[in-house]
Amino acid sequence: MKITTSPWGAWCAALLFLVLPTVCTAADTIRINGSGNALDMMRPMVAAYEKTNRDARITMEKPLGSSGAIKALLAGALDLAVTSRTIKAEEAAKGARARTYGTTPLVIVTGHNVGLADISTKQLEDVYAGRVRKWPNGEQIRLVLRPREDTDTRVLSRLSPGMDRAISASHARPGMIVAITDPESYLTIAKTPGGIGTASLNSILTQKPRVTVLSLNGVKPSPTALASGTYPLVKEIHFIFTAVTPPSTQRLIDFIFSPQGRAIAQKNGVLVLPRPVPNN
């Protein structure tokens, strides 16, 4: 999988004026960005697509986040955004279009040796509020927060009124660890003794960081639990594009929504909708 640009781009540009004027074009490179967990979902998808589309060139840089990626898309700097939220009215007015793909569980993760496999809503409130500061094994709890306006924070705060208050209290405490992106969050938890925080199940399954996924109130997070409504923490996944989406990008979108693409996503913790649903 090609994650960043390469010398091929410069070589191709030179050939535009010499040998291959109709073969190498900027539209052949598909530029993708979005939220960290959505890009994690895309990695095995892109790898599978490139196996049968040898000429495809796909670049994915470090995550810009949902809002940043949509801005970049509308500015012409991206061909496709993969986000944790759908478009806003003002983004639609500027030409953004969205297709909802599915959902994945937002999971509570800890380091491997804290001695816990399940956590209740009350326990989680106590951890975030600072009322409980040690794990059952005696190790100090080190909370890894997400920014207050981040999707993970908003999803977690809706778990209960007490959780919303506890998150506000945690952000008010000085010296807290705040991870900006999804990868930064699960990687920080993995390397921080006593760490706890949030991640998306699809990221854990595709990237395999050294963390423990906790069940919540006795319910193990899974696409099946989302479908049954028994697991409450849900993150959405949307594909955002425009009316001038290049044909090469449209072919990739068609693959993503195909049975093969959907099967890859489902294998990696995504509850894919039964059929594509246009948002606008």
DSSP E strand boundaries for 125-194: 142-145, 177-178
pLDDT for the residue numbered 280? 56
Query: Can you tell me the mean pLDDT for 167-191?
Result: 97
Four-residue CA torsion sign, 47, 53, 54, 60: negative
Query: Can you tell me the mean pLDDT for 233-246?
Result: 96
- Asked if the 104-228 domain carries CATH number 3.90.550.10, the reply is no
pLDDT digits (tens, 9 = 90+) for 40-74: 999 999 999 999 998 889 999 999 999 999 999 99
Does residue 266 surpass a pLDDT of 80?
A: yes
Compute the distance between CA of residue 119 and CA of residue 105 in angstroms, rounded to an integer.
15
Compute the distance between CA of residue 143 and CA of residue 173 in angstroms, rounded to an integer.
11
Burial of 136 (0-12, 13-18, 19+ CB in 10 A): exposed
Whole-number percent of the chain with pLDDT over 90? 83
pLDDT for the residue numbered 246? 92
| Position with higher pLDDT, 10 vs 73 | 73
Compute the distance between CA of residue 280 and CA of residue 278 in angstroms, rounded to an integer.
6
Radius of gyration in angstroms for the set of CA atoms belonging to the chain, rounded to a whole number: 20
Does residue 9 surpass a pLDDT of 90?
A: no
Q: Would you state the structure tokens that stand for residue 23, as one six-digit string?
A: 């073969």
Which string of DSSP letters, residue by residue, matches 19-58? T-TTT--GGGEEEEEE-HHHHHHHHHHHHHHHHH-TT-EE
Query: Can you tell me the mean pLDDT for 240-268?
Result: 96
pLDDT for the residue numbered 235? 97
pLDDT for the residue numbered 279? 55
pLDDT digits (tens, 9 = 90+) for 117-143: 999 999 999 999 999 999 988 899 999
Residue 229 CA: distances (Å) to CA of 86, 184, 212, 266: 21, 29, 23, 17
Question: What are the phi and psi torsion angles at 228 (to 5°)?
Answer: -85, -10
Whether 80 and 252 have beta carbons less than 8 Å apart is answered as yes
Q: Would you state the structure tokens that stand for residue 64, as one six-digit string?
A: 């810009």
Query: Can you tell me the mean pLDDT for 77-89?
Result: 97
Which string of DSSP letters, residue by residue, matches 83-130? ESS---HHHHHTTEEEEEEEEEEEEEEE-TTSS-SEE-HHHHHHHHHT
pLDDT for the residue numbered 104? 98
Q: Using alpha carbons only, give the angle 152, 108, 194 rounded to the nearest 5 degrees.
A: 115
User: DSSP character for 260?
Assistant: H
State the DSSP H helix or E strand holding residue 215, giving kind and residue range, or none if neither. Answer: strand 212-216
Q: Do domains 8-102+236-278 and 104-228 have the same CATH topology?
A: yes
pLDDT for the residue numbered 278? 54
Domain positions in the chain: 8-102+236-278, 104-228
Does residue 277 surpass a pLDDT of 90?
A: no
Mean of per-residue pLDDT scores for the chain: 89
Contacts of 3 (CB under 8 A, 6+ apart): 59, 60, 61
pLDDT digits (tens, 9 = 90+) for 193-206: 999 999 999 999 99
Return the bridge partners of 236, or none. 103
CATH topology of domain 8-102+236-278: D-Maltodextrin-Binding Protein; domain 2 (3.40.190)
